[in-house]
Amino acid sequence: MDSAVSDPHNGSAEAGTPANGTTRPPSTPEGIALAYGSLLLMALLPIFFGALRSVRCARGKSSSDMPETITSRDAARFPIIASCTLLGLYLFFKIFSQEYINLLLSMYFFVLGILALSHTISPFMNKFFPANFPNRQYQLLFTQGSGENKEEIINYEFDTKDLVCLGLSSVVGVWYLLRKHWIANNLFGLAFSLNGVELLHLNNVSTGCILLGGLFIYDIFWVFGTNVMVTVAKSFEAPIKLVFPQDLLEKGLEADNFAMLGLGDIVIPGIFIALLLRFDISLKKNTHTYFYTSFAAYIFGLGLTIFIMHIFKHAQPALLYLVPACIGFPVLVALAKGEVAEMFSYEESNPKDPAAVTESKEESTEASASKRLEKKEK
């Protein structure tokens, strides 16, 4: 996963010249400001809305929207897995034809992008359907074995409205597949980011610190220690990064000198910020102090990344600046409010854990029983 902000003079193309050998005209200050301001705004949208949707996701009971909980063991292994994946992609691009690799990746992300975009726009689209819309329910069930040994492999519930969203998302998918246009790329990238923040849940703040700390080292090594990450980011034709042209004012929608931001710089801090929002809600104080603090910290960290990159004219590992800000600012607030113990003791249960499911059922049974008693007393 790419996790670096590109050199403002290189964009997403190889540094230097375009394919015809002519010198690329330098980007204007207005174009650079527009590009990085747009990247900052696009990074904030999936974090903000993904965090809000993560709260509903944590409370929801739909199996298709069940969050994936990241434990401390998962967090510790993630930088190693990410490093192996990144190095593997780098070697693939060095050994095999870049054209064929990107063709396979395009097909893979074409399918994932349609599903992610459909899931993203579904809540918004529901507001536009008329009340008399014929909405039928469907279920895609794939099992293994029979009788008592039957095991569910896929159990996906959807309706006619979901099919409409899939159809609209498929139009964007075909556009991306045929043209690789940067707007289609960004629509998929935003959908991936929002889904990641919504559906990937950290079980506690300590796990978040382990994950961010490990990727802090990962990001610095692969950007400053080698050219692997920047090379993969420039060769990888898939919506794993948000891009915005610096020459938009000169060339319009056909601009081709891009600045880019890896989705890892959005999703990784985003799931930590979403955790702090759920922690805020657990305090039941009707304030979102830690969420807004970490959100402001993210803006500060990404802004600092862009500023330093512009000064030194070199791609920057954004997590180098985002991790200290996103962890440090909320911890300082917790110290000031005397809530450090509450912050680090806050725990989210894994909804896939049988014990958590049993406990939830017991709570539901107790609640039902208490309601029946109340009715009898009345």
Catalytic residues: 219, 265
Q: Please name the residue that has the structure tokens 């192996």.
A: 84
Q: Which residues pair with 143 in a beta bridge?
A: 152
Torsion of the alpha carbons at 293, 4, 112 and 173, rounded to the nearest 10: 110
* Pairing status of strand 137-144 against strand 200-202: unpaired
Please give the C-alpha separations between residue 177 and each of 105, 157, 262, in angstroms, as whole numbers.
Answer: 10, 27, 20
Contact 277, 52 (CB under 8 A): yes
Tokens (6 digits) for 257: 């000198």
Instruction: Return the DSSP state at 221.
Output: I
Contact 326, 297 (CB under 8 A): yes
Strands (E) in 86-146, as ranges, are 137-144
What does the angle CA 309 – CA 84 – CA 209 come to, to the nearest 5 degrees? 60
Give the H or E element holding residue 213: helix 205-220
Contact 293, 273 (CB under 8 A): no
Amino acid at residue number 227: N
Amino acid at residue number 100: Y
Q: Which residues pair with 157 in a beta bridge?
A: 139
Instruction: Return the DSSP state at 149.
Output: G
Longest distance between any two alpha carbons in the chain, whole Å: 86
Distance between CA atoms of residues 274 and 58, nearest Å: 11
Please give the C-alpha separations between residue 199 and each of 69, 336, 344, 351, in angstroms, as whole numbers.
Answer: 8, 31, 21, 12
Distance between CA atoms of residues 51 and 278, nearest Å: 8
User: Mapping DSSP to helix (H, G, I), strand (E, B) and coil, where does residue 247 land?
Assistant: coil
Distance between CA atoms of residues 174 and 106, nearest Å: 11
**At residue 183, what are phi and psi to the nearest 5 degrees?**
-70, -45
What does the angle CA 196 – CA 198 – CA 200 come to, to the nearest 5 degrees? 55
